[in-house]
Amino acid sequence: MIDYVTANRSVILEALAQHVWLSLLPVLVGAALALPVGYLGVRYPRFYQPIVNLGGLIYSIPSLALFLMLPAVLGLQVLDPLNVVAALALYTFALLTRTVADALLSVQGQATQAAYALGYRPVRQLLGVELPMALPVMLAGLRVATVSNISLVSVSAFLGVTSLGSLFTRGLQLDFLEPIAVGIVLSVLLAAAADTCIVLLQRRLTPWARVSTR
């Protein structure tokens, strides 16, 4: 395995670099969209159930099917990495809208009433009290979304998009175990690293809660 890695260093590094941005960019896009929509579900309770249902619907579509339907919907080439980014952003959005809504709902109660009594206006209450207090739950959802994105990107190797998944197809075509093993190890390590980063970020952002969210 060491021999394989040294001999193919540039290929592996390129696959890894592609894998990183293909999995992390959608997390940012999906989270940015999920925040306002999740808030909508809290602010207007009648939207909560439809939002949750829509998320569940999107999330139940298998990734390969979504990757291959999007070119027709978006008018892109099958080979375009944007299909992968869009599909994964959709999954992240589907997962996080519910998390955001549930997280914000979990803060409603004494804390928001106290803020209201102290004269906080709605916007300041949202940004200063509800969002920070909802962070642990939201970041827990972000961890799930990030880790599953990282494992999903591999499937895009079908479309010919370069990622660690390319190592799997290469291994299968050459009937060769090493690239597959290297790909799995790197993918799992990447997921663990991203997960750890979010946990550390959460420690920094929520110094008042030194207990883990799970």
Partner 1 sequence: MSAATLLAPDVTAPLINYFAYLFDGENWRWASSSIPARLLEHVAYTLVTLLISAAVALPVGLFIGHTNRGAFLAINIGNAGRALPTFGLLSLMVALIGIGTLPVLVALVVLAVPPILSATYAGIRSVDPSAVQAAVGMGMRPTQVLFKAEVPMALPLISSGLRSALLQVCATATVAAYVGFGGLGRFLIDGLSTNDYAQVFAGALLVAVLAIALDLLSAGAQHAVVSPGVRARADRGGRRTSSSAARSTGRTHPHPQAPTAGTPRQRPNERPTP
Residue 137: what residue type?
A: V
b/e code 172-200 from CB counts within 10 Å (16+ = b): eeeeeebbeebbbebbeebbeebbeebee
Minimal distance, residue 2 CB to partner 1, in Å: 18
Among 17, 28, 114, 172, binds partner 1 (CB under 8 A): 172
Beta carbons within 10 angstroms of residue 81's beta carbon: 20
Residues 6+ away with beta carbon under 8 Å from 53: none
Minimal distance, residue 51 CB to partner 1, in Å: 11
Q: Where are the alpha helices (DSSP H) in 60-109?
A: 63-74, 81-107
Minimal distance, residue 105 CB to partner 1, in Å: 5
Give the interface with partner 1 as residue ranges (CB under 8 A): 42-43, 45-46, 48-49, 56-57, 59-66, 68-69, 71-72, 75-79, 91, 95, 102-103, 105-106, 108-110, 112-113, 116, 122, 137, 141, 144, 147-148, 150-152, 154-155, 157-159, 164-165, 168-169, 171-172, 175-177, 180-181, 183-184, 187-188, 191-192, 195, 214
